[in-house]
Structure 1
Amino acid sequence: MNSVALDQPVAATDPAWRRTLLALSGIWAALLAIFHRDAADMADIWWNSTTYGHCLFVAPIIGWLVWQRRRELAQLTPQAWWPGLAIVAGGGALWLVGEAAAVALFRHVGLVAMLQGAVVALLGARVARGIAFPLAYMVFLVPFGDFLEPWLQAATVSLTMPLLHLLGVPAAVDGVLITIPNGYFEVAEACSGSKFVIAMVAYGTLVANVCYVAWRRRIAFMALALVVPVLANGVRAAGTIYAAHLTSVEAATGFDHIVYGWVFFA
């Protein structure tokens, strides 16, 4: 196969790829139509939830990752692999559990697993290995991570109080309520830093795979991607309360949402 052909989309260079990708498109369309309620539910969360807005970028990222592998994929021949149907069946079973238990997360994971399983079953084990990371990255299409909020609230309080005492702010804490002489602050779910952490895990996973080869470096980078947002949120909370101590609660909270939320995450 010449270099010109390798620069073209795989589907345009091989009849076997064209047939298989058409079949895969049809199966994906059928799955999305059958489970349209869950697909629409996920899309609604991506669009309307500030916690999961990053999910809107996951599908384009997956497309880019596959495109980056087009030369290697063009050298493979897609071949149906029946064991891949076990992934589809597992996703279907998980969806049924979610439906019976009224747990949306299980239904969403089940739908994504069925889409992944269809890829493995139709394209085969060799092609699936070639796109293993993009295929696995589809898990970030599922909006998940809210369960971290209580732990992150506690972590934020634990980081904030020593910083306030270091800055000379007379602060007291009761659970997630921090009191200073001119007001009090609640480290609510929205202030727990979960948005930072959830988005950073998704993008950190991408960067770790794209930018590093050694697993030791990938693990180290992911550890930083988890730790840095938590520390930054503690500093953000302490800075907000310190600003309130020097000025007023109203001025500090307005400054917090405009500046700290953007600058610290960036």
Structure 2
Amino acid sequence: MQPDSISQSRSSSAAIAKIPVEWRKALGLLAAASFALIVLTAREWGEMLHQWWNIDTYSHIILVPIIIGWLVALKFGELAQVVPRSWSPGLAIVAAGLGLWLMGRASEINLIAHAGAVGMLQGMVIAAIGPRASMVLALPIAFGVFLVPFGDEIIPPLQAITAEISIALTLWSGIPAEIDGIYIDTPAGLFIVAEACSGVKFLIAMVTLAVLVCFTRFERWSHRALFILASIVVPIVANGIRAWGTIYIAQSQGVEFAAGFDHIFYGWIFFAIVVALILAAAWRYFDREPENYGWTADGVARFALIRSMERFQSSAIVVFACLAAMVILTAITASIVAPGALG
């Protein structure tokens, strides 16, 4: 072994040695269990990765694992004050995720299968580190929900809303037009509010950002509710204005010019402007720093419910053995009710 390799090996060993023994056990259990669950649901994770990377609607999800890592890193100081204990009741959440995954595969509904694949990992985190540490990490654990690609279901109503906003603004601006569903007929041509123009990708990305901002920058629930509401309403209205802008420009500059302008400006640039405006309006109401989000270790220690829940602690070996049995049983069931689930 070369000197550099020896030095790096020693540095890695030293870094691992700094991690408390109990955390090393918990993280080892979590790593082994997560590997088993991901292998079982490899098809779903492959599908989700494909959607994150290749479909614009879900491209923002690539940032979600990074955000989760950042949220966990902010809590390192608090986690150092907590002793993780494997917790067998957490396997009930894993079982629910496995059941959801199996249901999704049997019914061939990807959304359900994907939700199950993510949910079982969230449950495994809770089972591996216990309720006390999980409460400290409640936000990053819950934020894992946004790993699931969703939103296709709301495209039709968003198309309808965008069409109604754009026709109202078109008539208001003095341009004669008629609407038939998602079709808008104007002197410059016939415009269609296609799926790509529904604004779904902006809305989903904005809601994801809004949840992050709400729980890292606001203390008051009233502020959180208002910010979430604004993060839903403003992008929908803004998208209607975007569609109207395309129609308005087409009347004087032609359809081709309007389409090109829409493609260049009204993409993520337009979305960035909308995000900046919403954040600017909320900035004065931010009442805490991101590193202060969630519960502290001392705060969680005062929860009587947490102390009651910790009575059901189990050894890591028992938890992993139970998980292994659940995975094997689910795999056997899947091979019967959904033969292609493991392919």
TM-score, normalised via structure 1 length:
0.94
Is 1:135 paired with 2:145?
no
Q: How does 1:85-96 map to 2 (within 5 A)?
A: 85-96=91-102
Question: 1:236 maps to what in 2?
Answer: 242
Cα 1:145–1:169 shift into 2, 3 Å:
same
Question: 2:166 maps to what in 1?
Answer: 160
Question: 1:38 maps to what in 2?
Answer: 44
Instruction: Provide the secondary structure at the position in 2 that maps to 1:179.
Output: strand
Deviation at 1:263, TM superposition (A): 2.9
Q: Which amino acid aligns with 2:142?
A: A
C-alpha separation between the residues in 2 aligned to 1:123 and 1:12? 18
Question: 2:200 maps to what in 1?
Answer: 194
C-alpha separation between the residues in 1 aligned to 2:216 and 2:34? 27
Instruction: Provide the secondary structure at the position in 2 that maps to 1:173.
Output: strand
Cα 1:22–1:218 shift into 2, 3 Å:
same
Q: Which amino acid aligns with 1:97?
A: M
1:214 to 217, 220, 224: 220
C-alpha separation between the residues in 1 aligned to 2:245 and 2:64? 32
Question: 1:62 maps to what in 2?
Answer: 68
C-alpha separation between the residues in 2 aligned to 1:140 and 1:53? 12
Deviation at 1:221, TM superposition (A): 0.5
TM-score, normalised via structure 2 length:
0.74
Structure 2 residues not aligned, in runs of 5+: 1-14, 273-343
2:175 to 163, 166, 169: 169
Question: 1:149 maps to what in 2?
Answer: 155
2:267 to 251, 261, 264: 261
C-alpha separation between the residues in 1 aligned to 2:18 and 2:168? 61
Instruction: Provide the secondary structure at the position in 2 that maps to 1:13.
Output: coil
Is 1:110 paired with 2:119?
no
1:21 to 19, 27, 32: 27
The CA RMSD over aligned residues, in Å, is 1.4
Q: Which amino acid aligns with 2:225?
A: I
Q: Which amino acid aligns with 2:58?
A: Y
Structure 1 residues not aligned, in runs of 5+: 1-8
C-alpha separation between the residues in 2 aligned to 1:95 and 1:12? 37
1:224 to 215, 230, 235: 230
| Number of matched pairs | 259
Q: Which amino acid aligns with 2:215?
A: N
Cα 1:10–1:160 shift into 2, 3 Å:
farther
Q: Which amino acid aligns with 1:167?
A: S
> What's the CA shift string for 1:205-255, capped at 9, x where partnerless?
111111111111111101111011001101100000000011211110110
Question: 1:6 maps to what in 2?
Answer: none
> What's the CA shift string for 1:60-85, capped at 9, x where partnerless?
10010011011111101100111101
Q: Larger deviation: 230-239 or 26-35?
A: 26-35
C-alpha separation between the residues in 1 aligned to 2:68 and 2:219? 19
List structure 1 runs of 4+ shifted beyond 4 angstroms: none
Q: Which amino acid aligns with 1:45?
A: Q
2:251 to 229, 245, 251: 245
Q: Which has the larger radius of gyration?
A: 2
Question: 1:75 maps to what in 2?
Answer: 81
Given that 1:11 and 1:21 are in contact with CA atoms closer than 8 Å, whether structure 2 keeps it comes out as no
> What's the CA shift string for 1:142-199, capped at 9, x where partnerless?
0001111111111101111111111111111111000111211100111011111011
Identity %: 48
Greater relative CO (CA pairs within 8 A, separation 6+): 2
Q: Which amino acid aligns with 1:115?
A: L
Question: 1:97 maps to what in 2?
Answer: 103
C-alpha separation between the residues in 2 aligned to 1:194 and 1:10? 43
